[in-house]
């Protein structure tokens, strides 16, 4: 999003004009930014045999999946439904890594039937997998490295009390289960958290995983998850991908020599690929003055973007309609009957009722975490691709809210009443 001749634009298209065409609230994604993030990762890790798997829980619109697939990026999914969406988008089952958490073994069996690579993160499921498949179906195992990393406690998933992965201290138990059931393990996986800044954290976690490979002779890859930090505000510190790529290449290539075979190094970026591509565009409904603050109430809320309320995440807020206006201090809040605050004490160009505000870094975990709370409708999604604004999801309607509801009070209670209703319809 760039300010050009007094207008905020993406690929030369005026965002306010896009709102006039599609209405607000509205999610808009920039395809060029997604592609450039993919290319940056590929360039940074060119010294290794690296493979990217998009963590699609960040944003699962079929058009986004197809765009990412065009760039040669495979898929990481956490549910059967995400896998099915990936297949609908054109991914082959063998291009999809299935990394669920706490699911029933029936879902694991569905994944095997689909042809996915299953990533197992607890010993109970590993034992069931071995009893059911033996060495006929290969799998991956997720290790918990016991490393605290990430920008918020809710996105730190590699610490000792995390529900994710099998403790690195349980490796002897894992090996016994694998040996007893002759399970073919082709990959080891770990993910310590999101918004990680230091290369040293990645390298330390990688060394834990490299050491864990002892005794697993059939490995084809090791998967370091992701967690690369993007910029949320001007001057924000981010993960130095280029530095990490250089240091990781040395560490990984040395590991492969010790292991005795060249493996693939996998990463699973989600937020890194799509976060900065997306903006949530909203309209200022009302300017409300109180003794202590000035509130801007917009036509959106935590039902569309819950991250600020759930993770205390920061999303820069820009007034697209008045980019040269005097800067004033506002609290930007939503229209949900909860405290859904997008930003407190934000210095924004003067906001007038009817102005269009943009919430940046909304491409990841925005629409994908949205809901119908307060019976509000989800917004449409637009992808700017090759300098054209393409509608990739329609705005919801009341019909969408009631589509799967069953009205028991207007349904005939007996066959006789039902038959009478049918006769009345024909008449």
| Cα 3 off chain centre by | 28
| Cβ neighbours for 418, distance < 8 A, ≥ 6 positions apart | 412
How many angstroms separate the CA atoms of 37 and 268, rounded?
A: 13
Q: Which two tokens stand for residue 263?
A: 């493996």
Tell me the sheet residues that pair with 390.
Answer: 383
Q: Which residues contact 417 (CB under 8 A, 6 or more apart)?
A: none
Supply the DSSP string of 61-108, one letter for each residue.
-HHHHHHHHHTT-EEEESSHHHHHHHHHTT--GGGEEE--SS--HHHH
The tokens describing 284, both together, are: 């200022």
Helix 105-114 vs helix 123-133: angle between axes, to the nearest 10 degrees? 50
Among 56, 139, 337, 344, which one carries the catalytic annotation? 337
How is residue 131 written in tokens?
């009893």
Length of the chain equals: 427
Residue 140 catalytic?
A: no
What are the residue numbers of the active site? 337
């Amino acid at each position: 999003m760039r300010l050009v001749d007094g207008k905020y634009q993406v690929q030369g298209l005026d965002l306010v004009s896009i709102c006039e065409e599609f209405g607000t609230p509205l999610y808009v994604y920039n395809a060029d930014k997604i592609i450039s993030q993919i290319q940056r990762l590929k360039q940074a890790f060119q010294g290794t045999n690296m493979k990217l798997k998009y963590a699609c829980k960040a944003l699962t619109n079929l058009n986004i999946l197809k765009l990412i697939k065009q760039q040669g990026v495979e898929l990481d999914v956490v549910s059967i439904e995400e896998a099915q969406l990936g297949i609908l988008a054109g991914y082959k089952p063998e291009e999809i890594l299935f990394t669920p958490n706490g699911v029933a073994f029936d879902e694991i069996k569905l994944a095997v039937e689909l042809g996915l690579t299953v990533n197992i993160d607890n010993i109970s499921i590993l034992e069931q997998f071995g009893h059911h498949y033996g060495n006929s179906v290969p799998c991956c195992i997720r290790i918990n490295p016991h490393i605290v990393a990430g920008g918020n406690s809710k996105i730190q998933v590699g610490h000792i009390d995390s529900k994710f992965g099998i403790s690195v201290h349980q490796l002897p138990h894992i090996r016994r289960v694998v040996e007893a059931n002759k399970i073919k393990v082709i990959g080891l996986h770990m993910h310590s958290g999101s918004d990680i800044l230091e290369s040293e954290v990645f390298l330390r976690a990688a060394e834990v995983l490299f050491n864990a490979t002892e005794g697993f002779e059939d490995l084809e890859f090791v998967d370091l998850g992701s967690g690369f930090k993007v910029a949320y505000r001007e001057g924000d510190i981010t993960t130095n991908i280029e530095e990490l790529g250089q240091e990781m290449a040395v560490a990984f290539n040395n590991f492969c020599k010790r292991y005795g075979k060249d493996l693939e190094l996998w990463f699973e970026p989600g937020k890194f690929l799509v976060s900065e591509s997306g903006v949530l565009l909203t309209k200022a409904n009302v300017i409300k003055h109180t003794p202590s603050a000035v509130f801007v109430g917009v036509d959106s809320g935590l039902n569309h973007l819950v991250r600020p309320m759930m993770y205390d995440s920061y999303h820069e807020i820009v007034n697209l309609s008045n980019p040269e206006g005097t800067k004033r201090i506002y609290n930007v809040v939503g229209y949900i009957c909860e405290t859904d605050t997008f930003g407190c004490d934000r210095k924004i160009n003067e906001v007038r009722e009817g102005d269009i505000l943009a919430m940046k870094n909304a491409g990841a975990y925005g629409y994908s975490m949205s809901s119908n709370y307060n019976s509000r409708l989800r917004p449409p999604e637009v992808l700017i691709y090759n300098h054209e604004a393409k509608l990739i999801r329609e705005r919801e309607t009341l019909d969408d809210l009631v589509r799967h509801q069953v009205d028991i009070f207007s349904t005939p209670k007996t066959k006789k009443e039902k038959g009478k209703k049918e006769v009345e319809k024909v008449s």
